[in-house]
A and B are shown apart, each in its own frame.
Chain A
Amino acid sequence: MTAKPFFMPNLFMAALLLGAALITGCQSGMSKKEYQQRTEDHGYNTVLFTDYDLNRDFKDGLIGPNKVIRLTSTGHGIQRTDTGTSQVWVELRNHTDYDYRVEARTRFYTEGGMPTDAEPVWRRLTVPANGNAVYREKSVGTERLQYVVEVRQTR
């Protein structure tokens, strides 16, 4: 009977500390997986979904989904045109029941990895619901090039 007055405050303090620890843990920012995806070296000849709402591989908050795949790239490549310039193509697939209006741009790099060519410009295209669309972009230079294509939702 005499232990009760001491027990209650201790229990209260412990619960408070546990709650604070939990809140701190939840607020500590991004998960390891999110950090990894946001900072990984993407390399060349790749398609990046710079808009993580379109395609991401990390949990978005406590109750958010683990993985989001509204759009994916089903294939991409580069080929030469008749004048020696390069043309990049990316086929995008829409996994949702809604048309998606997206923007894409291509940054070209030399084989040594130096950014080159004209300044990339966002180009708009619509990916129909549950359908595919192809984005194409040409370089202005005639040297062999590598590319990185960025895709985001239309602003």
Chain B
Amino acid sequence: MTIRTLSAAAVAVALLAGCAPSQVDNVRGQATVYEDPQSAGRVQGVGIESQDVVAMTDEMMRDMLANQILAARATPPRIIIDNEYFRNESSSIINTNLLTDRLRVELNRAANGRMVFVGRHYADMVEKERQLKRDGAVDGGTIRKTQATAGGDYRLGGRIASLDAIDRNTQTRSRYHQVTFEMVDLELGTIVWSGAYEMRKAAQDNVLYR
């Protein structure tokens, strides 16, 4: 009786095992979604993210336009904004062009002639074309001829610095960022405008920035 019961149970187990699923996980994947770059997205960590880039560049832009030296001169000052002197010394991975490019673009659009922007990062492109014109390979164009390209009055400098802390018990990490923006007089070397953006974030997730 016992042997018969055991045999039946074994057969049942074997049958069930045979029916056990070896199946494809046939569920719908997560579709790509657009997110608002001004707000925190689904993937969040302690680094500098899109909402921080937008917020800090917007704040600096509005502040520069309220500065008399930069935005209220009878002759608009020539300004260079690129990442040549903008350093990332923080533990966050970020392309500093994200900050300087957005700042320059938004400021150029908003300034509407109150500032003139020198495209120093395009200097070799301009020099090549000027050389072709001077060599007679191409004609002089329709705008004008100048002896030299524009010199800058002010140039952006700045730095991203950070301070990290980690709680070993909870593996929560916290990072404080301090991002400084400064506009330097290119003749005198004085700093005519400064702005700083601070933030501290804490998270447990191990988010990877690239």
Contact = CB atoms under 8 A, between A and B. Distances in A.
Interface in B32-52: 38-40, 51
A81 interface: yes
A122 B50 CA distance: 12
B71 interface: yes
Contacts of A67: none
A155 B40 contact: yes
Interface in B44-102: 51, 54-55, 58-59, 61-63, 65-68, 71-72
Contact of B58 (A82, A118, A124, A155): A118
A138 B63 contact: yes
Contacts of A138: 62-63, 65-66
Interface residues of A, number: 17
A121 B65 contact: no
Interface string A85-107: 10100000000000000000000
Given A81-B66, A83-B67, A122 B38 contact: yes
B110 interface: yes
A128 to B, nearest CB: 15
A141 B114 CA distance: 11
Contact of B62 (A82, A122, A124, A140): A140
Contact of B61 (A83, A84, A118, A122): A118
Residue among A122, A138, A140, A155 having the largest count of chain B Cβ atoms under 10 Å: A140
Contacts of A83: 65-68, 71-72, 114
B62 A118 contact: yes
Contacts of B129: none
Contacts of B72: 82-84
B205 interface: no
Given A84-B72, A121-B58, A155-B40, A140 B51 contact: no
B106 interface: yes
A140 B62 CA distance: 6
A122 B39 contact: yes
Contacts of A146: none
Given A83-B71, A140-B61, A140-B110, A121 B66 contact: no
Contacts of A150: none
A118 B106 contact: yes
Contacts of B114: 83
Contact of B51 (A82, A122, A141): A122
A82 B66 contact: yes
Interface of B: 38-40, 51, 54-55, 58-59, 61-63, 65-68, 71-72, 106, 109-111, 114, 199
29 contacts: A82-B66, A82-B67, A82-B72, A83-B65, A83-B67, A83-B68, A83-B71, A83-B72, A85-B65, A85-B66, A85-B71, A87-B66, A118-B62, A118-B109, A118-B110, A121-B54, A121-B55, A121-B58, A122-B39, A122-B55, A124-B55, A138-B62, A138-B63, A138-B66, A139-B62, A140-B61, A140-B62, A140-B110, A141-B110
